[in-house]
Structure 1
Amino acid sequence: MTVSLPFRQVDVFSHLPLLGNPVAVVHDADGVSSEQMAAFARWTNLSETTFLLAPTTPEADYRLRIFTPTGELPFAGHPTLGSAHAWLEAGGVPRGDDLVQECGAGLVTVRRGERLAFRAPPLVRSGPVDDADLATIVAALGIADDDVVDAAWIDNGPGWTGVLLRSAEAVLACRPGVGFGGLKAGVVGPYPEGTDGHDGCAVEVRAFYDGFEDPVTGSLNAGIAQWLGGRVLPSSYVASQGTVLQRRGRVHVTGGGGEVWVGGDTSTTITGTVGLGD
């Protein structure tokens, strides 16, 4: 049996059309099986596809399941913001001033203001990257060992490692291969201090895993801020991501180190219905 459900595709992290990162959002998905969700995510072939469901706890406004083409994630950033946008646009009314999303990582608060912003969930893995994993990442990025200033696990669900390079220019120069060995590498480098950077951005960020570069990545930027914010980077700043992919992602970070908020502009590009069946 095929069911027809409301659908939105939302562009996240850019105020300009078609220059952010899209997420497919299916509404009213309580009757959709996990297998149907996974099949639709494979079909969209976007970095993430999400499904809005009724919450299972009174603290939450809605529940969210997040799928990549290869599996389910407990949390991801741009799907959180895009799905919150879709839920509000469809008439959702939060219980309080903020939205509360239930997902595999627990409860995530989404703040409304000039733009939507989520409170970064705690890291589930932190600390140094071991030598073997770092060697794999360095080789896959096509850089030298001494290009790396620092590296750490900054995993808040999707599995990110963070790699700090000397400059934004070095980040943009990376020409990665496909040999990441299942690791996910987030690369960050600062624009020169005392300049306006790249359109006012403090850093350039890129997100890699085997055979893929993600255009703009909220979870990664959250982890970077928890790792470097208020120490190597300012407590609040704007990150640029997607430049090499001809996107213009802008990730607005506030907090740094402690309670980090990650925000971005959101806009709906496609509305309609989707038929999901066995």
Structure 2
Amino acid sequence: MPSSSFIRRAFKQVDVFSLEPYQGNPVAVVMQAEGLSSQAMQHIATWTKMSETTFVLPPTDPQADYLVRIFTPQKELPFAGHPTLGTAHALLEDGDIEMHDGILVQQCAAGLINLDVEYIDTDFSLYFSLPKAAASSVNQETRLALMQALGDIEIGAAWQINVGPTWITLQLENADVVRNLHVDLAAIKKISAKARITGVTVFGELPPGSDAAFEVRSFSPITGVPENHVSASSNGCVAWVVQKDGLVSGNAYTAHQGGCAGHDGQVNVIYEPDGRILIGGHSVTCVSGTILA
């Protein structure tokens, strides 16, 4: 495509699950994607080399406020958590969309996604409703393989949970054990391939008085990500286990993720009276400008 056929479009890179720049999980957002083909979107997503790049379009469903398409460097996704939050943050920040009773409605390939917006003074947090989880217990053979892959440690609760992405989710003794794992990524990749999962997530309780309830780590070498900075879907799986086993009192908690990968992500979880599990937190825009597309 000749360069003369490109136009400048509004573009942002948003760091999700952090108020501090470069501590969360970034997403690239092309704000005005009208006229771009699927092939062009995939080409841009491959070029950015971000875990996800999103493209904002006018909605085709009258109930939606906007439409978003989500691409990894390899393929398009029907839905993903942190790109959903980062895209909504970029749009709200610029005043491109308006809330309705504190709710935004995103249209994507997975359907309509409601996002709750929580304002404190001029700052805001965003939350999406976790898709209904489908869970099964991990069999003994896989459990033993996981114990070895994580450095011959003891494992508590062990579930395979599908919330869109599928994670084997393991409760470990405490946060210190989570931080000090000796992970065999080749073994994790082999286990993931056999179980047909996105990866393995582990969590452990932090001491009372900490600024978060749990330390979380997620490993997805099968997707080319040895360790996730901060993952919405894996924290959703942890939230399901926490609720099932009554690991927190009250209807909300915060999890920390990314410390072992050089980041400082904070994921907020809220259990709603209607049974929904909300996953979200703060975001910060680190790059704002234009992109030729």
Q: How high is the TM-score relative to the length of structure 2?
A: 0.84
SS in 1 for 2:83: helix
Q: Within 5 Å, give how 1:160-239 maps onto structure 2.
A: 160-179=167-186, 180-181=189-190, 182=193, 183=197, 184-192=199-207, 195-197=208-210, 200-210=211-221, 211=224, 212-229=226-243, 231-234=245-248, 235-239=251-255
Which residue is equivalent to 1:8? 12
Which residue is equivalent to 1:250? 266
Pick which of 109-118 and 129-138 moved more: 129-138
Indicate if the aligned counterparts of 2:157 and 2:170 stay in contact, CA closer than 8 A. yes
Which residue is equivalent to 1:107? 112
Gaps of 5+ in 2: 120-124
Indicate if the aligned counterparts of 2:21 and 2:285 stay in contact, CA closer than 8 A. no
Which residue is equivalent to 2:69? 65
Identify the match of residue 143 of structure 1 among 147, 151, 160.
151
Counterpart CA distance in 2 for 1:14 and 1:7 is 20
2:270 corresponds to 1:259: no
Counterpart CA distance in 2 for 1:230 and 1:149 is 14
Counterpart CA distance in 2 for 1:126 and 1:230 is 11
- Give % identity: 39
Which residue is equivalent to 2:122? none
Tell me the CA shift for residue 158 of structure 1: 2.2
2:165 corresponds to 1:158: yes
SS in 1 for 2:185: coil
Tell me the CA shift for residue 36 of structure 1: 2.1
SS in 2 for 1:229: helix
Opposite residue 105 of structure 2, the aligned amino acid is V
Indicate if the aligned counterparts of 1:23 and 1:82 stay in contact, CA closer than 8 A. yes
Tell me the CA shift for residue 46 of structure 1: 1.9
Counterpart CA distance in 2 for 1:66 and 1:237 is 28
Which residue is equivalent to 1:129? 138
Length, aligned pairs only: 269
Q: Over residues 138-191 of structure 1, what are the superposed CA-to-partner deviations in whole Å (9 max), with x where a residue is unaligned?
A: 444x332x5211221222212222121111111111233332134311111111
Q: How high is the TM-score relative to the length of structure 1?
A: 0.88
Counterpart CA distance in 1 for 2:49 and 2:40 is 14
Task: Considering fraction of residues, name the structure with more helix.
Answer: 2
Indicate if the aligned counterparts of 1:101 and 1:109 stay in contact, CA closer than 8 A. yes
Q: What is the Cα-based RMSD across aligned positions, in Å?
A: 2.1
Tell me the CA shift for residue 265 of structure 1: 0.8
Tell me the CA shift for residue 134 of structure 1: 4.3
Indicate if the aligned counterparts of 1:105 and 1:121 stay in contact, CA closer than 8 A. no
Q: Over residues 37-75 of structure 1, what are the superposed CA-to-partner deviations in whole Å (9 max), with x where a residue is unaligned?
A: 222222222222111122221111111222222322222
Identify the match of residue 78 of structure 2 among 74, 80, 95.
74
Opposite residue 202 of structure 2, the aligned amino acid is V
Tell me the CA shift for residue 250 of structure 1: 0.7
Which residue is equivalent to 2:129? 119
Indicate if the aligned counterparts of 1:149 and 1:165 stay in contact, CA closer than 8 A. yes
